Structure 1
Amino acid sequence: MIYGVLLAAGQSRRMGSPKPLLIWQGQPLVRHVATVALASRLAGLTVVLGAEATSVGLALGEMRSRVHVVECAAFATGQAASLICGLASLPTDAIAAVILLVDQPFVTPGLINQLMTTFAAHPEAHAIVPRYQGQQGNPVLLAAALFPTVATLEGDTGARVLLRNPTTHVHWLEVADPAVCVDLDTPESYQAFC
């Protein structure tokens, strides 16, 4: 059972306004990414809220009944808290989680499925990480064996620091789609990709 964890709790400092609420293809970005995730073979999706939790929760619209929503009280301490909160909320049968970022609108259900298929072929891996032309991308699949280590993270860091640890068995998934390296961090990037 592989679940998705959509991180939508950040304060969007560089964007200057909440990224989950940006309009993408006629709907809030958080709803768009959740729709993509639910179109994949994931067993379920947890959406982690924090900053602007009420507004972002409402932006999920009808999707809210199809996802598990959790609020991260410590979201202001950085991404680590949101990631830990999301993983801790997963069902006990979770063997892995695909970590989705709310500011990556070009991720497809096919890419999510490819991460899951690759994990099935490499069950010894702690993480399946997409890579485009040598550049590490997202989303990343984390095996449940890595969850306790993730729980020790602090501050504004995601799992990337763990992926650099030589004891972490990372399987690199080479992809032809640059979408894994595209995120909307600034007003300029948002306008450019719109």
Structure 2
Amino acid sequence: MGGPNKLLALFDGKPLVRRTAERALGSKAAGTIVVTGHQRERVRSALSGLDLTLADNPDFAEGLASSLKTGIAKVAPDAAGAMIVLGDMPGVSSKDLDSLIDAFRRSGGRAVVRAAHQGKRGNPVLLPRSLFPAIAHLEGDTGARHLVEAEGLDVIDVEIGQGAAIDVDTREALEGAGGVLQD
């Protein structure tokens, strides 16, 4: 986006990153890991007092893969999978996350479960543990999408509404979603 940090933009008076973390904490997820990178100390401050695990990614500028690997490395060894929740998606609720978790559990923890809106894939996505070794080899500004397709795993799309498609990558999108940028 450039300029002010979108994760610190206020939505209903609360930094977006805190709002997202609280929604993850309010879901059925067994734990919440937040990967920090850009303006790490400011983001950590916005998350102060929340019962979550922080994972610093000093290589955040290398792209999405480095953050994904950093977070996956912190997942509990007995977890069946990991739900990847982007910090810049203000329309995703705890209930939406629960819908993804429920679908993952129904699959026996073997399927990839991703949020969808009107038949189009979106985020968040829940990845089974079987993908973790391949994620460890990702590089650059790449997520796990091509791994999902290459590994031939079952994929379950869960309709959660427009929250699956709204991220705030531009000033206009952020303001249109109700956010107020801070310095």
Instruction: Tell me, yes or no, whether TM beats 0.5.
Output: yes
Q: Report the equivalent of 1:10.
A: none
**Aligned equivalent of 1:48, options 23, 35, 46:** 35
Alignment-mate amino acid for residue 106 of structure 1: G
* 1:112-161, Cα deviation, whole Å (9 max, x unpaired): 11111111111263411122222111000000111111111100111122
- Aligned equivalent of 2:83: 98
Superposition pairs of residues 68-87 of structure 1, within 5 angstroms? 68-87=53-72
Measured at CA, do residues 123 and 15 of structure 1 come closer, stay the same or move farther in structure 2, by a change above 3 Å?
A: farther
Q: Distance in 2 between matches of 1:69 and 1:187?
A: 27
Aligned residue among 125, 130, 133 for 1:145: 130
Residues matched between the structures, number: 178
**Residues 42-73 of structure 1, C-alpha deviations (whole Å, 9 max, x = no match):** 1110000011001110011222xx00001011
RMSD over aligned CA atoms reads: 1.4
2:92 aligned counterpart, secondary structure: coil
- Structure 2 matches for 1:15-54, cutoff 5 A? 15-54=2-41
Identity %: 35
Q: TM-score, normalised on structure 1?
A: 0.87
Alignment pair present for 1:178 and 2:162: yes
* Corresponding residue SS for 1:116: helix
Residues 154-163 or 94-103, more deviating:
154-163
TM-score by length of 2: 0.92
Whole-angstrom distance in 1 between the partners of 2:80 and 2:25: 18
1:156 aligns with 2:141: yes
* Cα distance in 1 between the residues matched to 2:58 and 2:27: 29
Q: Does the Cα contact within 8 Å between 2:80 and 2:109 map onto a contact in 1?
A: no
Structure 1 regions of 5+ residues with no counterpart? 1-13
Q: Which residue of 2 aligns with 1:189?
A: 173
Change (3 A) 1:176 1:130: closer
Question: Does the 8 Å contact 1:131/1:172 carry over to 2?
Answer: no
